Amino acid sequence: MKKTIRLVLSVFVLVVLLSSCQTVHQDDSPDYSDPSAWAYWCEGDGEADLFLICPTVDMGSTGNLNMSMDDNDARRSFVGALNMERGIYEDTCTMYAPFYRQMTFPVYEQRIAGSGEHLEIAYGDVKEAFEHFLAQVEDDRPIVLAGFSQGAQLALMLLEEYFDDPELADRLVAAYCIGWPVTDEDLAEHPHLRMAQGEDDTGVVVTFNSEAEGIDDSMLVPEGMKTNAINPLNWRTDSTFADRSLNKGACFTDYSGAVKQEIPGLTGAYIDSERGTLRVVDVDPEDYSSSLFPDGVYHLYDYQFFFRNLQENVLVRTQAWLDAHEPAMAA
């Protein structure tokens, strides 16, 4: 089992490390009316429309700080990373996912991803793609907004800018901003944001950041920061422990989206009352190590450790939205 998991992770790291890009300029902006600017466009026939934002796959191996849209290796890695997540959403949603000039990993290593031109380039692309998406999909359908890591950061920015519009906010099933911190300061600055409080509330933000007990600092949640979170095993926001028996299946996927290994009951978890992070308790950090993060920072596994619970939750929240809007849709 451990060898299989290490092999899957090693392939993931190898592929992203092979991605190389040239310096990105402002005039490289993608044209989202061109189908080639989309990794997914109208894939599937689900009852909600998913706008999915890819995590960081470009390692910036040539010194670039934004991904080039012309780099075919990076584009393949981009689609592969999306495929690793798609199983959570594809049974419920029609999927849309834009290519964009994402910030490369060195931007995060230098902790300069919170502002500046590299963020402006990435978010500018995502914003333009989102506006094109809104113009093309039916305006009475529910929306699921989702991203992991950098994708979650940019999804949160979309929420902050666009979803204070009551009509658009009413269409939001949920925003799965997993692998990115959402602080009380974020909520105070943008009071229209609401954190999920249970398994079936809608129009809310779902997020958590997984780590082992004893971790007090990470690239995602620096020491001294407290983030908000919900536990994907018991759908509580307090520190109530969720036993591993509630874990319906950790799924380790490859770049095709295939589940290479599934482990029901892999681990339990609880929310740390001081950091707000999700403490993962039943796995050995050495078994889930990576070259990108210190042992015990389970960032790469945020989705995979809780795959089946998240998959079920997308369906539950979408159905709750449909039930609540059924009278209006039938009129």
pLDDT digits (tens, 9 = 90+) for 132-156: 999 999 999 999 999 999 999 999 9
Rounded to an integer, the average pLDDT of 278-307 is: 95
- CA-to-CA distance for 328 and 78, rounded, in angstroms? 38
The amino acid at 53: I
Query: Above 70 in pLDDT, residue 24?
Result: no
Domain positions in the chain: 2-330
Q: Which residues of 191-228 are buried (b: 16+ CB within 10 A; e: fewer)?
A: eebbbbeebbbbbbbbbbbbbbeebeebbbbeeeebbb
Query: How much is the pLDDT for 23?
Result: 42
Query: How much is the pLDDT for 329?
Result: 56
Global pTM value: 0.90
57 DSSP β-pair partners: none
Query: How much is the pLDDT for 125?
Result: 97
| Torsion angles phi and psi, residue 312, rounded to 5 | -65, -40
pLDDT band at 21 (very low <50, low <70, confident <90, very high): very low
Is 288 within 8 Å of 297 (Cβ atoms)?
no
Query: How much is the pLDDT for 22?
Result: 37
Query: Above 80 in pLDDT, residue 8?
Result: no
